[in-house]
Amino acid sequence: MYDLSILLLIAFAGAAITFFAGAKARWVALVTSVGTLAMSMWFLGTFLNGNPLDYRFVESYHWLTFATTNGGSLAVNYTVGIDGISLPFLFLSAILSVATVIYHWEERKDAAGFFGLVALTNAGLLGVFVSLDVLLFFVFWEIVLIPMFFLIGHWGGPRRHYASLKFFVYTHVASVVMLVSLLAVVFLGQWPSLDFVNLANNSQGVANLDAANILPATQVVLFGALFFGFGVKLPMVPFHTWLPDAHVEAPTGGSVLLAGMLLKMGGYGLIRLAFPLLPAGHVGLEPVVLVIAFASIVWGAFLSLSQRDMKRLVAYSSINHMGIVLLAIALWTQLSVTAAVLLMFAHGLVSGLLFMLSGSVHHTFGTRDIPSISGMNSRTPALTTILMIGSLASLGLPALVSFPAEFSALLATWEALGWWIILPLLALVITAAFYLWMIQRMAFGPPRGVPDTAHDLPTHELLAMVLLVSLIVLYGILPFLIVTYIPHTAIFVGCHYGGPGVCPTSP
Amino acid sequence: MVALPYLLPYLPELTLLVATFVVFLLDVAGEHRRTTLGGVSAFFLIVAFVEVLADLGTWPFHALSTLPASWNGTAQGPILFTSLGIVFQGIFLAIAALVAIASLSEAEDPDGTPTFYALLLLASLGMLLVAISGDLILLLLAVEVTGISTYVLVGYTRKDRRALEAAMKFYIIGAFSTTISFFGASLVFGAYGTTSLLAFSQVPSDPSLALVGFAMIAVGLGFKVTLVPFHMWAVDVYDGAPAVVSAYLSAGSKKMGLFALFAIFVGAVRVFDTAGNGYALAIMMGGLAIATMTVGNVLALQQQTMKRMLAYSSISQAGYMLIGLAVNTTPSLSAATLQMVANVLMKGGAFVAVAAAAAIGVGPLITDWKGLGHRRPILSASFAIMLLSMAGIPLTLGFVGKFYLFFSAILAGGLFAILAIVGLLNSAISVFYYARILKHIYMPEETGSPDAHGGTRSLASSTLGSSTSPTDPQPSVAISEFRAMGYARMGVIVACAVLLIALGIYPTPIVTALNAAAHQFVALH
């Protein structure tokens, strides 16, 4: 009944308490994030009962009424609910915040502030994934920015001030563009309220949210704006430049949440709003979207290849991976959208792990410069082992979670585009190359750049990584555990909103 | 003989009139302490505020508002009661009360104190009259009552050379703009044959004469509202005046000018849309809005001192609000008014916060605020909330106001959408300078050595081990913070921040009331 509200309440109240908990902040943050994790696992457990096309756990309360020009009004509601698309993200967000809190267990610098901001990021993220109202969605979307701005700006690396401002300004501009185009969709589509719960919870579609009210040419413009708004977050080439800066300067936990969750907001927005709302728009812009997706895939891979800084390498490989996500979304078939969600889930776990690894490498060796470290395995076997697992997971080794995701994405690409699949495949080869090359240089060979004082992972860092590794393996071997949920969404139904699988949308 | 019930609608005005006399009498009686004079002023202002709430029917004493119900929306001679006007009375009284309370923490100043409070009350009285004017002449005279009071208010300390210079500048510009307004009013009278504000929704006998007159009135009031290009004086005055007076000017008298613009132009803008005059007035207002937003924001980007930054950002806020008049629909007026309510709390609160920071020796430069987040957590957190609200970040009232404003412009469609887009671009620019201040407050360069998590583990733990959490709840710190910066002042700052958040999360009652008020206002004019 009030399930999702309780989830948000736990998350926000926990975050607020953490700020004032002083020395006990880490415990409060842990309890909070474990609480949200428990709630999201409970959602996983009870989700599958019910009509596959409906949102579950829907709550809706009146929040605000805006006047409109002709004496009418437009309601803004607090409407929340989840479906198969949002549920994996809820779970992922809770998992990653638990892992982040554990990883930073010994954080000393303004610990209460740090844990409070991590908890607040988690709360905002949960809000984004459960909102079913345009304004509510935007509110949570923006809430996520603030803690991340402070996390980068206060706990970050040497150029953290530049990076945090750049991050904030880039993503804020993008979200403002997104908001305007969403409002335009609302007005032009003559919605009775800002809710999008009715958008697709009915296989016939709901007349008053019908995009048919909007001219195809207008749809193309609006889709372009929405695509920009979500794509900057994703990030897509050429609007990706904030990402390496933000990542390299962010503290480890910030990077984990940034790569693991904030990038997913972009993909989620595309799947939830941009594509279903404006079918004619995405058909019209399909070539542009595909070109950008291919560019992100190839460009991200090549840039990764040339990085010396381990964290920067992981950051650029995120661009590559999110390019594949964009490609899968752009194909807009049932298989490809499922693959996109699974890919984002996998990338959340794997990139989280890799950013933790680069943080630990930095702690242990005082540098993240790949060429200056070698022979890690003699001193730090645990760190090296996990580094290898993380890298192999990222390059898509079978039995690890990225494999089923990338495989299904490529399968969907083959079905829709045929031989164009060579481009992402080529990029996959490069991805494999730079990860293997990194492992080869860092893990093996004669010890160099490894101080005698270096010791292996402390327990809390190890624990956080083991948590992620076990999930990576679990979902790699049994991907159905998460894939089962994804088709439980009305986005997959019918042609009415350009639902995938039925309408011919490929070029 | 005047029957008592007919005086009841004027209760807030009468209250302030009595309060002004009481303050003057106390001065004559030799009472110069801030606690007495400020306390009396704040008391009367709050009483008047409650009366206004009663008039709006949003208070338990709803009965009071039913008495003159037949008056609501009907011109009584030069007086015109409208719900929107009463809402603005509430805004004016709120900022005046806020300033009166915050000023209790200012230094004792036996010469200046009585002047300050008396003029504050008098200026507020003028504002209340503006809000119920139904006649152009009364409206401009009431604007002048406030104007003259505020000229003196800026220089009330009489010793501060910068404040005196600011007062002089303000006075000269103010007198100049008044002249232009009245000249414009005479032309408008010539065109319409009446000065009743409700008549301006008719087609005048001589449209071009009326247009020139309206343009001159807009210029004259544009000085008050600090519209670009009539904004030059504002920054020097806000910078030179005592911070509480700046708060009053920015959050109070500017809103008065905007209401005057609403009262004169809401009907006229619509008439000039339909009477074959193109969109003359709408385009003029839209152009002023675009220029004001953009210039204010771009100049705010370059400011080094906190007060000047706030002054320029205040100019840009005026530009946002003018969008409401250019679009000229029920939602846009409602949104602009909502944005003004937010402004009372965020601009008023921010200037008071600057005064509070000055009281503990923080310099005027933005960089002087460096690291204040750790030393003064309550002040910094409140100030941060105000900045986030100005930037339009969700969960603050500033966001709701800005959202509604741009929403209304997009809703109106066509060329008005341009206003929303320019506004949004500006909003994005402004995020940069607000975030930069937050960066200084919470992320000082010195404390965070580059190896925040770098270096080897042993090094990192040794350098970071010493720092303690700034957010540890140490009641003694909080109390000392209040003591150092003044209980009254800090109370106002914290209250503003809390209200910004609370109303940002649940703005429903205000938005509902404003929608109704704006609807009546548009229908009337």
The answer to whether the Cβ–Cβ distance between B424 and A180 falls below 8 Å is yes
Q: Count H helices, E strands: chain B?
A: 23, 2
What residues of A are in contact with residue B411 (Cβ under 8 Å)?
68-69, 187
Q: What is the CA radius of gyration of chain A?
A: 22
What CA–CA distances, in Å, run from A434 to A263, A313, A430, B382?
22, 9, 6, 48
The answer to whether the Cβ–Cβ distance between A363 and B334 falls below 8 Å is no
What residues of B are in contact with residue A19 (Cβ under 8 Å)?
471
Structure tokens at A203: 């296989």
Q: What is the pLDDT of residue B117?
A: 94
The pLDDT tens digits of the residues spanning A332-352 come to: 888 899 999 999 999 999 999
| Domain membership of residue A224 as a residue range | 3-492
Q: What is the pLDDT of residue B270?
A: 85
Q: Is residue B75 predicted with pLDDT exceeding 70?
A: no
Q: Is residue A290 predicted with pLDDT exceeding 50?
A: yes
Q: How many CB pairs under 8 A join A and B?
A: 161
Compare all CA atoms of chain B with the CA of A137 and give the residue at the minimum distance: B394
SS (H, E, C) A305-316: HCCCEHHHHHHH
What residues of A are in contact with residue B400 (Cβ under 8 Å)?
64
SS (H, E, C) A228-292: HHHHHHCCCCCCCCHHHHHHHHCCHHHHHHHHHHHHHHHHHHHHHHHHHHCHHHHHHHHHHHHHH
Q: What is the pLDDT of residue B482?
A: 83
The answer to whether the Cβ–Cβ distance between A364 and B465 falls below 8 Å is no
Fill in the amino acid letter for B375.
R
Q: In chain B, which among 390-419 make CB contacts under 8 A with chain A?
A: 393-395, 399-400, 403-404, 406-408, 410-413
Q: Is residue A9 in some structural domain?
A: yes
Q: Is residue B381 predicted with pLDDT exceeding 90?
A: yes
Compare all CA atoms of chain B with the CA of A64 and give the residue at the minimum distance: B508
The answer to whether the Cβ–Cβ distance between B458 and A454 falls below 8 Å is no
Out of A130-139, A407-416, B481-490, which region has the weakest mean confidence (pLDDT)?
B481-490
Q: Is residue B457 in some structural domain?
A: no
Q: Nearest CA of chain A to the CA of B411: how many Å?
A: 7
CA dihedral in degrees (B49, B51, B54, B59; nearest 10)? 60
The answer to whether the Cβ–Cβ distance between B330 and A71 falls below 8 Å is yes
Q: Is residue A353 in some structural domain?
A: yes
Nearest-angstrom CA–CA distance, B284 and B61: 42
Nearest-angstrom CA–CA distance, B61 and B421: 43
Compare all CA atoms of chain A with the CA of B434 and give the residue at the minimum distance: A165
| Max CA pair span of chain A | 77
Q: Is residue B269 in some structural domain?
A: yes
Nearest-angstrom CA–CA distance, A488 and A243: 32
Q: In chain B, which among 428-457 make CB contacts under 8 A with chain A?
A: 428, 431-432, 435-436, 438-439, 442-443, 445, 448, 450, 452-457
The pLDDT tens digits of the residues spanning A17-71 come to: 999 888 899 999 999 999 999 999 999 999 888 777 778 898 999 888 888 877 7
Burial call A128-148: b when 16+ CB within 10 Å, e when fewer: bbbbbbbbbbbbbbbbbbbbb
Structure confidence at residue B331 as a pLDDT band (50, 70, 90): very high
Structure confidence at residue B462 as a pLDDT band (50, 70, 90): very low
Q: Work out the average pLDDT over B399-410.
A: 92
Asked whether B167 and B159 are in contact (CB, 8 A), the reply is no
Structure confidence at residue B335 as a pLDDT band (50, 70, 90): very high
Q: Is residue B459 in some structural domain?
A: no
Out of A209-223, B242-256, B293-307, which region has the weakest mean confidence (pLDDT)?
A209-223
The tally of domains found in chain B comes to: 1
What ipTM, to 2 d.p.?
Answer: 0.83
Q: In chain B, which among 456-495 make CB contacts under 8 A with chain A?
A: 456-461, 464-465, 467, 469-473
Q: Nearest CA of chain A to the CA of B299: how many Å?
A: 18
Q: What is the pLDDT of residue B79?
A: 83
Q: Is residue B186 predicted with pLDDT exceeding 90?
A: yes
The pLDDT tens digits of the residues spanning B32-70 come to: 888 889 999 999 999 999 888 877 765 434 434 444 555
Nearest-angstrom CA–CA distance, A173 and A167: 10
Q: Is residue B220 in some structural domain?
A: yes
Q: Is residue B510 in some structural domain?
A: yes
Compare all CA atoms of chain A with the CA of B381 and give the residue at the minimum distance: A19
Q: What is the pLDDT of residue A207?
A: 36
Backbone angles phi, psi at A66, to 5 degrees: -100, 145
The answer to whether the Cβ–Cβ distance between A109 and B410 falls below 8 Å is no
- % pLDDT > 90, chain B: 53
What CA–CA distances, in Å, run from A247 to A120, A259, A319, A357, B169?
19, 8, 12, 13, 50
What CA–CA distances, in Å, run from B182 to B68, B177, B432?
32, 9, 40
- Closest to A320 (Cα-Cα) out of A258, A239, A235: A235
Q: Nearest CA of chain B to the CA of A3: how many Å?
A: 20
The pLDDT tens digits of the residues spanning A449-483 come to: 777 677 788 999 999 999 999 999 999 999 999 99
Q: Work out the average pLDDT over A107-118.
A: 90
Q: What is the pLDDT of residue A252?
A: 93
Q: What is the pLDDT of residue B208?
A: 86
Q: Is residue A503 in some structural domain?
A: no
What residues of A are in contact with residue B458 (Cβ under 8 Å)?
453
Distance of CA B307 to the CA centre of its chain: 15
Q: Is residue A499 predicted with pLDDT exceeding 50?
A: no
| Domain membership of residue B482 as a residue range | 4-447+475-524
The answer to whether the Cβ–Cβ distance between A153 and B467 falls below 8 Å is no
Interstrand relation of A73-82 and A56-67 (parallel, antiparallel or unpaired): antiparallel
Q: Work out the average pLDDT over A284-298.
A: 92
Q: Is residue A504 in some structural domain?
A: no
The tally of domains found in chain A comes to: 1
The answer to whether the Cβ–Cβ distance between A67 and B330 falls below 8 Å is yes
Out of B193-207, B226-240, B446-460, B511-525, which region has the weakest mean confidence (pLDDT)?
B446-460
Name the residue among B393, B467, B508 with its Cβ closest to that of A109: B467
Nearest-angstrom CA–CA distance, A261 and A178: 18
Burial call B283-318: b when 16+ CB within 10 Å, e when fewer: ebbbebbbbbbbbbbebbeebebbbbbbbbbbbbbb
Burial call A311-335: b when 16+ CB within 10 Å, e when fewer: bbbbbbbbbbbbbbbbbbbbbbbbb
What residues of B are in contact with residue A22 (Cβ under 8 Å)?
469, 471-473
| Residue A486: DSSP 8-state | T
What residues of B are in contact with residue A180 (Cβ under 8 Å)?
406, 410, 420-421, 424
Name the residue among A110, A138, A364 with its Cβ closest to that of B469: A110
Structure tokens at B95: 């900022």
The pLDDT tens digits of the residues spanning A365-419 come to: 888 888 888 888 888 889 999 999 999 999 888 999 999 999 999 999 998 888 9
Q: Considering chain A, what is the average pLDDT of its residues? A: 87
Q: Work out the average pLDDT over A281-310.
A: 91
Q: What is the pLDDT of residue A455?
A: 76
Side-chain half-sphere CA neighbours of A441 within 13 A: 15
